[in-house]
């Protein structure tokens, strides 16, 4: 496609946005204009190559993780540990801190930077205990009216024997249920890999954002390829087919906005990536903060209940 | 390290026994062979060893409900192909084939019925339709079952059997997790009970959403109930798996379900629960 | 003491009852008359010998356990298993059933009758998982308006390494907190040993009853003797000092009523013991059922917050 | 099998080191010896190895709060002896002795103060008063601290250090568990935060009630935090105990507390939390 074709393509997609059931009733004034500017700025490329590039960038070893952002834009950070039952799961960080002057509860996957930390944090794949910890912090947030910020970056929930025995499926379900009950503003952003149930467990939010090169998917490209193409090497083909990139997620009404990244990807400039993410989080929080809690919850459920395409 | 963990289709999971190897009416546990009418009369349970064969959604509804009481709802809700998904074959073709083979137009049936005179709402999954996978249509049907139960003020009985989210619908299939969870929360807020019956297999995205949120949860003997199935766990982690890994029996021991109820006793068990929640 | 002295003693105790802060505001009309009849009927003996006899009867190997009562007066019993996290603790049985026509949630310790069952059920000493299971069933009760019946019979919560690692103290605290939040009627009866935190975890109820020969205590007599007398053999002395019997608990305002047992103790006639217990539970439920949930909760908290004697 | 499991007094538990063996100012970990004024200046922390000696309630209040801001409440609440309890010595005599030795009239102090300008309510236990055991007076004082926090709309900071319930008050001491739990629930309903600092040892009935219900819970390094202490666990179950059984470090690993904060950093940590909950 030429650049001109691409732009046309984008315009069409954008005009389609307002028809998506998701966007009706959720958007506030000015939001679609902002989206339009975002899309323009992104000079978005929706080719198969571009999708694969996002898959690679989303998993880039130098990509900023949750704690990189916490260090850059959360003041008075106090990490809260433990599920009060069995463990403190390092794959999911939770805590309280100030974002632009207001106290927020923050929940985020943490993959770990070096080998030791990655093992300690199971590469960002949480056990049920991680989701129980998140739910405990959500309860604190609910009690004291703190907004909940989720930063999502996981290949998926941990797929091990103990994780199953401790109720991985039920923990993911109940974490979503807890988010569906909250009456505080909730904003999630996928900052890397948004892998399946392990991601959506903490992404049932009033606003779900994705960074420009983040991915959000029901299965890893390799997993999908192994099943449908019977060859994990066909991951690129699989990604092109199920389209985990931010633009397609926006188009499908699954997310509410895209957060720009520094030129070439967030790994190139953590400070700038943090500045852009902070701005997006604050803007979205500000738009939500005047809405009564019951109304937030009603709209949140209506948004997710409107998702899907069927005849 | 992290490939193929979640929401894999069921052929990559534990039992049921590979269909290509044995006749579907041959018991995989004891080798007894049955005619269709024999199995149907025995509720698709091996009369020799008690193995529970898969039970089709309509047969199960017939077994649970009072004769003639079932009225299907949302029968017109069908899958679309929002991604123009094409792997080795187009999704649209897989859907048509599933319709032809199953006589269903989706992997879940919902509707109203009575059980021993108690009015209920039913949502029953059918594993034969694309491995009971949950796409937008299944999510919508389950959600409408919740709404119908609320509107009518009757309990919801949800029977699950699923390999997980339907990956041919990409991210939209993942969104059926929060969608169905939100529907259950609306049900909870309306103080409507949900009784879940987990049939083989209840896994991945369905286990990680509405299937786990019943007020009371029973399972069929031998049913696989796992977020990640045994084969993927072993491939990914190289852990040694316990013999009954992920089976209903292990889930009971680890506190995830309320009881294992053989199929022949399920109707009575449900009736008793309906009396309690009446 | 002569019989006459004893009776006088009892009369004095009874007249003291109405002064206890506990009893004010909680009692309904007719309650103190019933208590008086009970006390008369019991021909109560508060001697050290009588206290020790209760200690022995409360632990009698043939004493009816929770499931003996369930079989005798709960219809449509459906046991509910598991904490939805890690285990199904056999030391604490939970379920739904009908009591006199109404659906109730029932929670009860179960010691086990034979050696195998006793091991399976840890002699009625629950792990944190048992209390989590109880809390889950309380939540169901709260959602559907079912009264909660607790039957208490435990030497105490399980004192093992895993129990500590899984958060025994926190589980007992949170189970009490859950009971303090309920807006459904709650009635507890100590049917054997009411051992310390493991007992009170499920006994924060609108009405707390004790069977005639049950005991309720902060520590076992042997444990108390080992610490204070430095000799576990002095258990009888310890029991006489800390007075775990029903009459003294009633006198101290810790319980709301005493449930009679068959002549010689509940072990002599399980059917009659069940009949007497059933009657007491139903009567107490009936007295609570017209009170609005918020008021039940307010009174329940006021009752427990009024407990204690200080200058 | 089941004797002496719960709420045993602290002499039957893990550390602190037997007072009769070493001078109380000798570090049980590294053997360093200090004068009182040296330890007081170092917040009762061994400057050589970091061991946290017990800190008296008033010293801790002085450390946490702005100078002169503490106003004690419920100072007149004192224990009675409702059971005329007599073991080897009368309870009344034990109480008098504790008063004499500690200069306190109970094992908890409550009152108002400010910390870095933030108004708070404080409840601080003192282990030297009968092992920090909780009888009716301690339960009442903690409960009044909750009420005072609600009334004033300020956070409650609760410092715990206790061997458990005070068995000399029999069943009434057990009733302090639900009593204090109900007080915390009133606090929760009023949306007042409670920050708990667990000092050595926080055990038995105190751990099984208000101590476990903080919104945020920090512990001092090396503090024993256990419902049943190591000696009783070993006597009862004959299990082999892990080296750090029941210590704060194990509790952090098993998810029961939010952080371990050395005493010197606690004031800053509390201040930060107060800013967050302001
Ligand atoms: Zn067979
Ligand atoms: Zn030292």
Residue C103 lies in a domain: yes
What pLDDT is attached to residue B87? 85
- Number of Cβ within 10 Å of residue C263's Cβ equals 8
Averaged over C52-61, what is the pLDDT? 96
Domain total of chain D = 2
Identity of the residue in A85, A132, A174 whose CB atom sits nearest the CB atom of C166: A85
How do B194-203 and A92-99 pair as beta strands?
unpaired
Averaged over A268-295, what is the pLDDT? 97
What pLDDT is attached to residue C32? 59
What pLDDT is attached to residue C45? 73
Is the pLDDT at A1 greater than 70, yes or no? Answer: no
Do B104 and B45 share a domain, yes or no?
no
Averaged over A124-147, what is the pLDDT? 98
Residue B258 lies in a domain: yes
| Percentage of residues in chain B having pLDDT higher than 70 | 92
Residue B124 lies in a domain: yes
3-state secondary structure of A155: coil
Tens-digit pLDDT profile for residues A259-281: 999 999 999 999 999 999 999 99
List chain D residues with CB under 8 Å of A78: 216, 258-259, 269, 272-273, 276
φ/ψ of residue D135, rounded to 5: -110, -165
Q: What is the ipTM of this complex?
A: 0.92
Tens-digit pLDDT profile for residues B29-45: 999 999 999 999 999 99
| Percentage of residues in chain C having pLDDT higher than 70 | 86
Helix/strand number for chain C, H first, E second: 14, 8
Tens-digit pLDDT profile for residues D99-119: 999 999 999 999 999 999 999
Q: How confident is the model at residue D4 (pLDDT cuts 50, 70, 90)?
A: very low
Residue A20 lies in a domain: no
B257 in contact with chain C, both atoms CB, cutoff 8 A: yes
Residue A83 lies in a domain: yes
Residue B8 lies in a domain: no
φ/ψ of residue C44, rounded to 5: -60, 145
Is the pLDDT at B173 greater than 80, yes or no? Answer: yes
Distance from CA of C283 to the nearest CA of B (A): 21
Residue C102 lies in a domain: yes
Residue B7 lies in a domain: no
Choosing from B53, B78, B100, the residue where a domain stops is: B53
Helix/strand number for chain B, H first, E second: 10, 8
- B-facing residues of C in 118-157 (CB < 8 A) are 129, 133, 140, 143-145
Please give the helix or strand (H or E) that residue B77 lies within, else none: none
Do B183 and B139 share a domain, yes or no?
yes
Residue C17 lies in a domain: no
φ/ψ of residue A187, rounded to 5: -130, 125
Q: How confident is the model at residue B8 (pLDDT cuts 50, 70, 90)?
A: very low
Contact criterion met (CB below 8 Å) for D206 and D164: yes
Do D39 and D168 share a domain, yes or no?
no
Do D117 and D210 share a domain, yes or no?
yes
Touch criterion met for A and B (3+ Cβ pairs within 8 Å): yes
| Percentage of residues in chain D having pLDDT higher than 90 | 87
List chain B residues with CB under 8 Å of A135: none
Which of A86, A132, A168 is the mutation pick for testing C, counting most C CBs within 10 A?
A: A86
Whole-angstrom distance, CA of residue D125 vs CA of residue D131: 10
Domain total of chain A = 1
Please judge whether B276 and C140 are an interchain contact, meaning their C-beta atoms are less than 8 angstroms apart: no
Residue matched to tokens 């956070």: D155
End-to-end CA distance of chain D: 49
Is the pLDDT at B11 greater than 60, yes or no? Answer: no
Residue of D nearest to C127 (CA): D227
**A101 φ/ψ sector (left φ>0, alpha ψ -120 to 50, else beta):** left
Residue of C nearest to D164 (CA): C218
**Residue ranges of chain C whose CB lies within 8 Å of a chain A CB:** 84-86, 128, 132, 165-167, 170, 174
Tens-digit pLDDT profile for residues A187-196: 999 999 999 9
Question: Closest-lying ligand to the alpha carbon of D27?
Answer: 2
Compute CA distances C284 → B72, C34, C202, whole Å.
Answer: 45, 12, 17
Is the pLDDT at C33 greater than 60, yes or no? Answer: no
Averaged over B145-155, what is the pLDDT? 98
End-to-end CA distance of chain A: 31
Residue C214 lies in a domain: yes
Whole-angstrom distance, CA of residue D206 vs CA of residue D213: 10
Is the pLDDT at D6 greater than 70, yes or no? Answer: no
> Can you say whether the dihedral through the CA atoms of D28, D32, D33, D36 is positive or negative?
negative
Residue A25 lies in a domain: no
**DSSP class per residue in A26-76:** T--TTHHHHHHHHHHHHT---SHHHHHHHHHHHT-TTS--HHHHHHHH-EE
Contact criterion met (CB below 8 Å) for D165 and D132: no
Please give the angle made by the CA atoms of D42, D43 and D46, to the nearest 5 degrees: 55
Please confirm whether the linkage preceding A289 is cis (ω < 30° from 0): no
Do D35 and D81 share a domain, yes or no?
no
Contact criterion met (CB below 8 Å) for A111 and A118: yes
Whole-angstrom distance, CA of residue A213 vs CA of residue A230: 27
Averaged over D11-26, what is the pLDDT? 58
Do D127 and D244 share a domain, yes or no?
yes
Tens-digit pLDDT profile for residues C252-273: 999 999 999 999 999 999 999 9
| Entry field: residues in chain D | 278
- A-facing residues of B in 65-104 (CB < 8 A) are 76-80, 82-83, 85-88
| Percentage of residues in chain D having pLDDT higher than 70 | 92
Residue A12 burial class via C-beta count within 10 angstroms: exposed 0-12, middle 13-18, buried 19 and up: exposed
pLDDT averaged over chain B? Answer: 92
Largest CA distance in chain C: 57
Is the pLDDT at A243 greater than 70, yes or no? Answer: yes
Is the pLDDT at B14 greater than 60, yes or no? Answer: no
Do B73 and B171 share a domain, yes or no?
yes
3-state secondary structure of A294: helix
Could you give the residue ranges of the DSSP H alpha helices within B90-221?
A: 91-102, 136-152, 170-174, 176-189, 204-207
C70 in contact with chain D, both atoms CB, cutoff 8 A: no
Residue C68: CB partners within 8 Å, gap ≥ 6?
Answer: C270, C274
Could you give the residue ranges of the DSSP H alpha helices within D89-175?
A: 91-102, 136-152, 170-174
Contact criterion met (CB below 8 Å) for A225 and A232: yes
CA of D10 to the centre of ligand 2 (A): 22
Q: Count CA within 13 A, CB hemisphere, residue A3.
A: 3
What pLDDT is attached to residue A33? 56
Domain that holds residue B182: 55-277
How do D118-125 and D194-203 pair as beta strands?
unpaired
Tens-digit pLDDT profile for residues A53-102: 999 999 999 999 999 999 999 999 999 999 999 999 999 999 999 999 99
Do B89 and B61 share a domain, yes or no?
yes
- Number of Cβ within 10 Å of residue A236's Cβ equals 16
What pLDDT is attached to residue A44? 61
Tens-digit pLDDT profile for residues A201-228: 999 999 999 999 999 999 999 999 998 8
Touch criterion met for B and D (3+ Cβ pairs within 8 Å): no
Specify the range with the lowest mean pLDDT, choosing from A167-171, C85-89, D239-243.
D239-243
φ/ψ of residue B90, rounded to 5: -70, 145
Identity of the residue in C82, C98, C140 whose CB atom sits nearest the CB atom of B256: C82
B12 in contact with chain A, both atoms CB, cutoff 8 A: yes
Residue B9 lies in a domain: no
What pLDDT is attached to residue C19? 39
Tens-digit pLDDT profile for residues B224-274: 999 999 999 998 888 889 989 999 999 999 999 999 999 999 999 999 999
Compute CA distances C110 → C68, C157, C180, D93, whole Å.
Answer: 10, 12, 23, 40
Residue D6 lies in a domain: no
Is the pLDDT at B223 greater than 50, yes or no? Answer: yes
Domain that holds residue C195: 46-297
CATH code of C259's domain? 3.90.226.10
Do D115 and D166 share a domain, yes or no?
yes
Residue B123 lies in a domain: yes
Which one has a higher pLDDT value, C10 or B201? B201
Specify the range with the lowest mean pLDDT, choosing from A175-179, B102-106, C20-24, C127-131.
C20-24
Q: How confident is the model at residue C232 (pLDDT cuts 50, 70, 90)?
A: confident
Tens-digit pLDDT profile for residues D240-266: 899 899 999 999 999 999 999 999 999
Do B47 and B184 share a domain, yes or no?
no
Do B23 and B78 share a domain, yes or no?
no
Averaged over D163-182, what is the pLDDT? 97
Residue B190: CB partners within 8 Å, gap ≥ 6?
Answer: B150
Residue D78 lies in a domain: yes
Q: How confident is the model at residue D76 (pLDDT cuts 50, 70, 90)?
A: very high
pLDDT averaged over chain C? Answer: 89
Averaged over B138-162, what is the pLDDT? 98
Is the pLDDT at C37 greater than 80, yes or no? Answer: no
Across chain D, where does the E strand assignment appear?
71-73, 108-115, 118-125, 156-162, 194-203, 216-219, 225-226, 259-260
Which residues lie at CB < 5 A from ion ligand 2? D 27, 29-30, 32, 46, 48-49, 51
Do D217 and D101 share a domain, yes or no?
yes
Residue C37 lies in a domain: no
Q: How confident is the model at residue D239 (pLDDT cuts 50, 70, 90)?
A: confident
- Report the C-alpha dihedral over residues C306, C309, D3, D8, rounded to 10 degrees: 100
φ/ψ of residue B238, rounded to 5: 60, 20
């Amino acid at each position: 496609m030429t650049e001109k074709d691409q732009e046309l393509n984008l315009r069409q997609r954008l005009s389609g946005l307002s028809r998506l059931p998701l966007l009706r009733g959720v958007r506030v004034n000015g939001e679609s204009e902002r989206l339009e500017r975002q899309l323009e700025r992104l000079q978005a490329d929706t080719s198969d190559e571009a999708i694969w590039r996002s898959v690679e960038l989303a998993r880039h070893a130098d990509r900023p993780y949750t704690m990189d952002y916490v260090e850059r834009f959360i003041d008075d950070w106090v990490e809260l540990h433990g599920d009060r039952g069995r463990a403190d799961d390092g794959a999911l960080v939770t805590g309280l801190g100030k974002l632009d002057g207001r106290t927020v509860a923050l929940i985020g996957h943490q993959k770990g930077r070096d080998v030791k930390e990655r093992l300690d944090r199971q590469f960002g794949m949480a056990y049920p205990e991680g989701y129980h910890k998140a739910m405990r912090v959500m309860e604190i947030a609910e009690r004291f009216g703190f907004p909940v910020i989720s930063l999502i970056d996981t290949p998926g929930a941990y797929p091990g024997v103990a994780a199953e025995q401790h109720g991985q499926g039920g923990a993911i379900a109940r974490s979503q249920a807890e988010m569906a009950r909250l009456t505080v503003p909730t904003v999630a952003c996928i900052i890397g890999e948004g892998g399946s149930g392990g991601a959506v467990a903490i992404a049932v939010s009033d606003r779900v954002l994705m960074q420009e090169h983040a991915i959000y998917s029901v299965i890893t490209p390799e997993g999908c390829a192994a099943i449908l193409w019977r060859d994990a090497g066909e991951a690129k083909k699989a990604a092109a087919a199920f389209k985990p990139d931010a633009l397609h997620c926006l188009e499908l009404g699954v997310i509410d906005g895209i957060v720009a990244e520094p030129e070439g990807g967030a790994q190139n400039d953590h400070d700038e990536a943090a500045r852009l993410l902070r701005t997006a989080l604050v803007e979205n929080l500000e738009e939500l903060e005047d809405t009564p809690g019951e109304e937030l919850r009603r709209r949140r459920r209506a948004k997710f209940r409107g998702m899907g395409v069927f005849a | 390290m992290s490939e193929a963990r979640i929401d894999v289709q069921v052929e990559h999971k534990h039992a049921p026994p590979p269909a290509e190897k044995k006749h579907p009416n041959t018991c995989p546990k004891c080798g007894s062979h049955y005619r269709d009418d024999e199995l149907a009369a025995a509720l698709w349970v091996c009369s020799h060893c008690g193995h529970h064969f898969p039970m089709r959604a309509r047969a199960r509804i017939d077994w649970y409900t009072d004769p003639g009481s079932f009225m299907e709802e949302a029968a017109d809700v069908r899958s679309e192909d929002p991604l123009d998904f094409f792997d080795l074959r187009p999704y649209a073709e897989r859907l048509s084939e599933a319709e032809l083979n199953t006589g269903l137009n989706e992997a879940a049936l919902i509707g109203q019925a009575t059980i021993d005179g108690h009015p209920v709402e039913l949502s029953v999954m059918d594993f034969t339709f694309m491995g009971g996978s949950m796409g937008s249509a299944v999510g919508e049907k389950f959600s409408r079952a919740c709404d119908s139960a609320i509107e009518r003020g009757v309990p919801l009985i949800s029977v699950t059997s699923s390999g997980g989210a339907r990956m041919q619908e990409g991210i939209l299939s993942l969104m059926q997790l929060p969608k169905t969870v939100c529907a259950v929360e609306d049900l909870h807020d309306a103080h409507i009970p949900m009784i879940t019956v987990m049939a083989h297999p209840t896994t991945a995205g369905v286990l990680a959403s509405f299937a786990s949120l019943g007020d009371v949860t029973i399972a069929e003997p031998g049913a696989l109930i796992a977020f990640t199935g045994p084969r993927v766990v072993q491939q990914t982690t190289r852990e040694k798996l316990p013999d009954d890994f992920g089976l209903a029996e292990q889930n009971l021991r680890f506190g995830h379900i309320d009881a294992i109820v053989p199929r022949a006793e399920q109707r009575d068990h449900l009736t008793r629960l309906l009396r309690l929640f009446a």
